[in-house]
A = this chain, B = another copy of it.
Amino acid sequence: MLDPAPSAGSPTRAATIEDVARHAGVSRAAVSKVIRDAYGVSDRMRERVTASIETLGYRPRVAARAMRGSTSTIGVQLPQVDNDFFTRILTGAVQSLRESGYQLIIAPMADPVSGTAALESLYDRQVDGIIAVAPAVPQAWLEGLGQRVPLVQVGQHDHPRNYDVVVGDDDEGARLVMEHLFAAGHTRIAHVTNDERVLVEPRTDPHPRRLRVYERLMRERGLEPEVIRIDPAEHDARRTVASLLDRAVRPTALFAGHDSLALSALEVVANRGLGSADFAVVGYDDVPIASHPLIGLTTVDQDGEQMGATAAHLLLERIRGRIEPERRVFSPALRVRATSSPPSVAAR
């Protein structure tokens, strides 16, 4: 496959199936059958053709194949490549597709805020199916896409008709966090979350859900919610968290909408020489570094790998013809670590 040097020197245009056929002295159809392992080729012919393919360094063009049938490729749309939770999902999908015969290609969202471009690009490439991770597009638009190509959406609380959904139970996750903090004796608990203005579909996004559970549970205990919103574009949650610590009466705990925010918060806390007894921090997602003993971030494990693997699995079913939408809701698990101590007596 793709031999070191073609006939060295000339800028030889790449070999086509025609070239192989001529070289092997057979018809194009015969070659096609050999490479697709189709029915009806004699052993002798297979050998000859294989040899010619080898010497000519022939590789079938995906584009030409796409014009007749399928591309044997699955596309994954990823909001950010440098987010370790999305990476967990991707890893699960990659592993699950390894033996499937499908090639995986990833289209990164160039613009993390609005994002039809990456999905359109996959569609235009005629991938056989698409896994959309936390897509920032209106649900109606996704329905349209799902009508045209097998589609699985990961991360949003949709109830779609034309695609499948893999999502974590964010209500449950948020509840686990809050009850853990309440049980530890915290009452002044703040919540940092994404700025709602940047959300395309606030109703299905996981972060507003976590927020709402937070607010409800606080109020149920007669406590005043304290919500801080971060504009993801500005990229620096630290200043905002810092301002929280400057308050006259500051919170004793922070429930961060995702681990990246939690890590930023820990940064501020550490830089001030404070510890978890002064200011507890709980995240969401359980990114790999959270379990590092130097970090020890208490957080909610969504099992991203399993979500990715499930998405891949559902997509294959859909490609094979399933039409009815499926929903898989993952139960989260709280990972209690060092950053969520009870408040110190002084802080309380």
Contact = CB atoms under 8 A, between A and B. Distances in A.
Interface of A: 1-6, 14, 59-64, 66-67, 71, 73, 81-82, 84, 87-88, 90-91, 94, 97-98, 103-108, 110, 116, 119-121, 123-126, 140-141, 143-145, 147-148, 263, 266-267, 270-271, 288-289, 292-295
Nearest to A118: B103
Contact of A288 (B60, B82, B141, B148): B82
A267 B292 contact: yes
Contacts of A5: 140, 143-144, 147
Given A62-B63, A270-B293, A121 B103 contact: yes
Closest 5 CB pairs of A and B: A63-B66, A270-B293, A106-B106, A4-B144, A63-B63
B144 A6 contact: yes
B104 A108 contact: yes
A107 B103 contact: yes
Contact of A108 (B88, B106, B121): B106
Nearest to A89: B81
Given A59-B120, A61-B67, A62-B126, 13 more contacts: A2-B120, A2-B123, A4-B144, A5-B144, A5-B147, A6-B147, A59-B124, A60-B124, A63-B64, A82-B87, A106-B107, A125-B125, A266-B292
A192 to B, nearest CB: 17
